[in-house]
Chain A
Amino acid sequence: MLALDKKDTTLFLIVLAAVIFAPFLLNPFPEGSELAQFNAGYPDLLQRFLIFGIFAIGFNILFGLTGYLSFGHAAFLGVGSYAGVWMMKLLTMNVVPAILMSIVFAGLFSLLVGYISLRRSGIYFSILTLAFAQMSFALAYSVLTPITNGETGLQLALDDPRVLGVSQVNGSIPPTNLFGLPMRESFELTMGGWVFTFNAGYYLCAVFMMVAFYLAIRIFRSPFGMMLRAVKSNQQRMNYTGLNSRPYTLAAFVISGMYAGLAGGLMVAMDPLAGAERMQWTASGEVVLMTILGGAGTLIGPVLGAGFIKYFENIFSKINDNILHQWFAFLPDGLEDALVFVIHPFIGKGWHLTLGIMFMLIVIFLPGGIVEGFRRLAQIGRRGTGGGKKSADAVPAPAE
């Protein structure tokens, strides 16, 4: 199906189903229950899962396949966001031109950055991309204020021209929409104690995410993808084999930059606001973490990594001492306090600590990330049922 082989088709369909039913799947706990705070099925977070999933899928095409580690990809996401907001200011609140222009501008900018940075490899390449991104961040804050609106961030205003639309409706800024369908429009479904929210913006992100994912599968399985893996494996040999590795790496760089631009465009399509902090090095570092955590060079890993980190950021950070006290209320007071005291640094604002520890554990014990974890589990399961097929699995499939 879809001109993919059986394994890829299965993967694609699983991801498709998961994305379609995520508002159900990620809302397993009834409203008002103690565990409801672990629900992730609300539009804002669901959108973020997909947007960062797209960002990480694109990043993985560069890092996972060619091994070139960029520390500046957030700059392309930022440029995409600014371009998107400008389209909404100047042209229309319809998100289509905004998203297209996000991709185009991020692509052009990544062509420039890639062209220069790819003159070096290894750590020097990483430093060059980092320098570019930090430069963009600093410029967005200072001299580029007329374009970026500096610290405040670029926002829509009531007097924006919007030549193909209207500046305002009844004294307020019109909502972002897809040919009239507002992105913030949601449909709520109440079933017993559960409330499920289906949001228009989320499903737009879902369409883009599936297209982006499909394209990534095609790239992974294509001769072009094979050449990108050759870059990672032995660039010298590649050159002595008559292949010019530079345009291959540049193409991968620009493609991943365009994915980042798409992510930036979708961000402003959901919430029409772009700030310079989106370009900061921490944001670039985050996508590196997502990719490695999930499994660099695998198809699904980056999406899992993105989901994992965003879940932590949004859910773990909400847990506070009061909640802990509630949980452990059944324990004797002294023990309860002691337990809360021990757990305290890992929750709430301390979620970074938990994430950092998990990241270290995964990198040390599962260098292939979450995907490798699943693969090992599957192996144990298979050995348990008798049919140990070790040699075939020991070959790290380039993409799964």
Chain B
Amino acid sequence: MGILEVNDVNKRFGGLQALNSVTLDVEEGKVHAIIGPNGAGKSTLLNCFVGRLVPDTGTVMFNGQSLLGIKPHEINQTGVSRVFQTPEIFEEMTLIENVMIPAFAHRDGAFKVNFWGGVSEEGEVGDRAEAMLAQVDLADKKDTLAGSLSRGDKRRLELAMCLVQEPKLLLLDEPTAGMSRADTNNTIDLLKRIGEMGITKVVIEHDMHVVFSLAHKISVLAQGTVIAEGLPDEIKGDPRVQEAYLGGAHV
């Protein structure tokens, strides 16, 4: 029994079958990687988990509860956080504010009118946010505007925003894209560390170095279909995977 169970999900965009009977079983506490060439439908699949898209048919169950037909904020409140492929952050706000917002959402729920006390009096939330920024090596930039960060830094900020919520399930859409080798390694270390906190992760990644150093299990998606699934060692040698990747990233 997985914490996230995806069963027979189909999604069509006009004439394009973006997801074709996708079935996944993500085990609690594990890192499940989804790889596949560009346009395979990886991001589309994640969109179906967070309420950005609703699949045409199929079911998505998280912790025994359906994620279909409920709003994005409700999905998040059940413990699902996502890092997007193009960073979704609050560009006009400072880094510390970017991390405090999810921290408030985690503590106070989806809506709370708290207009009397100042943000500056929220020491506990502020401290948590700052500690989280330190974890992703951004603490020294806490008062700069998020929009001024490099792409790699934006990603790490977004990761901090997700982690501060202590999610049960973390969805990562290419978390190291645009990062230097050193930053990539730091991020792998960070993700490994949070792996020890028991957070289940679904990671989409083109960088095979990242995939093979993190994943417990890998699903290969091509043209909307899961063409292979298994342990990293099994996937490495699978000829179908080599085939799907011809011209794409190298395995």
Contacts and interface: CB of A to CB of B under 8 A. Distances in A.
Contacts, number: 111
Chain B interface: which size bin?
35 or more
Interface residues of A, number: 31
A230 interface: yes
Contacts of B105: 241-243
Interface of B: 50, 52, 71-73, 76-77, 81-82, 84, 88-94, 97, 100-102, 104-106, 108-120, 122, 143-145, 161, 165
Contact of B114 (A3, A224, A236, A243): A224
A143 to B, nearest CB: 36
Given A226-B97, A227-B101, A233-B90, A242 B114 contact: no
Interface string A218-251: 1101111111011011101111111111011001
Nearest to B165: A242
Contacts of A227: 101, 104
Contact of A218 (B109, B118, B122): B118
Interface in A242-290: 242-245, 247-248, 251
A156 B83 CA distance: 62
Contact of A395 (B101, B114, B144): B144
A218 B114 CA distance: 10
Interface in A355-400: 395, 398
Interface of A: 3, 5, 218-219, 221-227, 229-230, 232-234, 236-245, 247-248, 251, 395, 398
Contacts of B113: 224, 251
For the complex of A and B, the 3 pairs showing the least CB-CB separation, nearest first, are: A242-B76, A224-B115, A242-B105
A60 to B, nearest CB: 15
A237 B88 contact: yes
A240 B81 CA distance: 7
B237 to A, nearest CB: 37
Contact of A221 (B71, B92, B102, B120): B120
Contact of B102 (A224, A242, A244, A245): A242
Nearest to B171: A240
Given A232-B92, A241-B101, A395-B144, A223 B76 contact: no
B115 A234 contact: no
Contacts of A247: 111
Contact of A225 (B88, B108, B111, B115): B115
Given A239-B72, A242-B106, A244-B111, A222 B89 contact: no
Contact of A241 (B111, B122, B161): B161
Contact of A219 (B77, B110, B115): B115
Given A222-B117, A222-B118, A238-B101, A244 B110 contact: yes
A247 B52 CA distance: 20
Given A239-B71, A242-B77, A395-B145, A233 B115 contact: no
